[in-house]
Amino acid sequence: MCTLALGAAAQELGPVTNFPLPRYVSMKATEANVRRGPSLSHRIDWVFVRRDMPLRIVAEHGHWRRVQDRDGLGGWVHYSLLSGTRTVIVEEDMMAIFRKPDPQTPVVARLELGVVARLGKCDATWCRINAGGYKGWAPKTSLWGVAPSEIRE
C-alpha cells in the first residue's frame, strides 16, 4: 500500500488507469522498445535492457505509458512490458544499508552505485530494501524510484 504524506500536493490522475501521475513502476521484460510516440508505427529511439529497472510513468495513452529513467530519458513503452513491482536504484556508491532505520544500528551491507533493489516499506526518510540477498534500511535520499513524500506500509 502506498500513500502520500500529509501536505503533499494533489496529484494528477492518469486518464487511462486513474492512477496517480507521475508514479513509479519497474521493467517486467528484459527488453523494451522505447518509442517516439504511443503506437507501433512510431520510431524506436532506443531499447531498455535491464529487467526490474525502476521507471517513472509521466503520461498514459491507451495501452502505452510514457516513461522516464533516472536520467530523465525515456519515451513510450507498451504497458505489458511494465510491472507494478517497485524497485529503486542506489544513487550513492557503497551506500550502507542498516538493520533498522537508524544510522546507529549495524550495517547489513554496502551497495554499489547503480544497484537495483526491491523496495519495501518507507517512512518519511527511510526505505526498507532487498538486494543481493541482503535486507535492510536505506536513506530515501540515496535512492531513485521512490517519491520524497511517499510513505509505503
Return d(Cα 152, Cα 142) in angstroms, integer. Answer: 17
Nearest residue to 35 via CA among 11, 15, 63, 54:
63
Note whether 54 and 116 are within 8 A (CB). Answer: yes
Pairwise CA distance, residues 137 & 5, whole Å: 19
Which residues, 6 or more positions from 18, have their beta carbon under 8 angstroms from its beta carbon?
A: none
* Whole-number pLDDT of residue 11: 74
% of residues, the chain, pLDDT over 70: 93
Asked whether 70 and 144 are in contact (CB, 8 A), the reply is yes
- Give the chain's mean pLDDT: 93
Q: Which pTM does this prediction carry? A: 0.89
CA-atom Rg of the chain in angstroms:
16
* Residue located via cell numbers 550495517: 107
Neighbours of 63 (CB within 10 A): 11
* pLDDT per residue as tens digits for the range 121-152: 999 999 999 999 999 999 999 999 999 999 99
